[in-house]
Structure 1
Amino acid sequence: MISTRPICTEDIELVCRHREQMFRESDAPGRTEEILETQTAHFRSWLARHLGDGSYFGYVVEDRGKPIAGIGLMTIEWPPGPSHPTQDRRGYVLNVFVEPSHRKQGIAKALMDRADQEFARRGVAFVILHATKMGRPLYEQLGWSVTSEMAKSLC
């Protein structure tokens, strides 16, 4: 029996494991185990703080009480721009992960639909995410479009 519940502070290790596995499976270069372990150690304390104050929220999907998927959501301050000319915030989707045993069953789509509903409930009209190669087809099917964002590491 599949069920969905809000994420809570007791899910910190689950989210860390999902996030680390998501990056491990992604198509980006330079993701060594050492970097992933370091990232997770710092993410764990960040996540505890943001789950605690409610600025990181989301959902966990369970199959017979066992977590099989999750999604993280945030509302971030952002200046009004052409995509959201009257709002000073954006929704942000992160840490979308479905266990390999449960992929291709519509779970990620259901989580994304739930995210849309949650952002709408919070009055957020524009949402962003960073897609892995594996996730990109689903997001495009759901109406997401590629943007011109670029990145540069300064360290």
Structure 2
Amino acid sequence: MYTDMGSALERVQAASADSLKWLRCGLESGAYSGVLIETGGWVVAGAGVIWQEFPPSPRSLVTTRAYILNVYVAPPQRGQGLARHLMQALLAECAVRNVSLISLHASDAGKSTYEKLGFTTTNEMRLIMETL
């Protein structure tokens, strides 16, 4: 997924072990959920959601928010609506959990899929600080 988006293979490999550990902890604690689509015994698409706790606000009294990430469809399966199916499954889980505020960061390729599902562009800003 990350190499398809232009990340160097060395950086992806360096992050793999830590990512796997994080995913295991998130799945065990319930802080992360994932969905996969399998064809012929192979995973061809997947997506995840981080369940984040925030204080209540005028916009939402519900304290859990969802951050969707790692939406990926293998190149041979693209254009078949699999990303939409993944998103619909995650949004259904949000509804079950009564989560009404859902965010994600869209790639250029995925933006139209998210817009068709009702996502809109926001004014979110980001700062990436140097780490030790």
| TM-score, normalisation: structure 1 | 0.76
| Partner Cα separation in structure 2 for residue 59 and residue 140 of structure 1 | 20
Task: Say which structure, 1 or 2, has more relative contact order (CA 8 Å, 6+ apart).
Answer: 1
Counting matched residue pairs gives 130
Q: Per the alignment, in what secondary structure is the counterpart of residue 96 of structure 1?
A: strand
- Aligned: 1:148 with 2:123: yes
Match of 1:111 in 2: 86
Match of 1:42 in 2: 18
- Aligned: 1:25 with 2:10: no
Kept in 1, the 8 Å contact 2:44–2:74? The answer is: yes
| TM-score, normalisation: structure 2 | 0.88
Large movers: runs of 4+ above 3 Å? none
Match of 1:9 in 2: none
Give the unaligned 5+ runs of structure 2.
none
Q: Which amino acid aligns with 1:129?
A: L
Kept in 2, the 8 Å contact 1:72–1:94? The answer is: yes
Match of 1:134 in 2: 109
| Partner Cα separation in structure 1 for residue 17 and residue 58 of structure 2 | 37
C-alpha RMSD over aligned residues: 1.6
| Partner Cα separation in structure 1 for residue 87 and residue 3 of structure 2 | 21
| Partner Cα separation in structure 2 for residue 25 and residue 66 of structure 1 | 18
* CA deviation string 1:117-148 (max 9, x = no partner): 11100111111111111111111121101111
Give the unaligned 5+ runs of structure 1.
1-20
Q: Which amino acid aligns with 2:4?
A: E
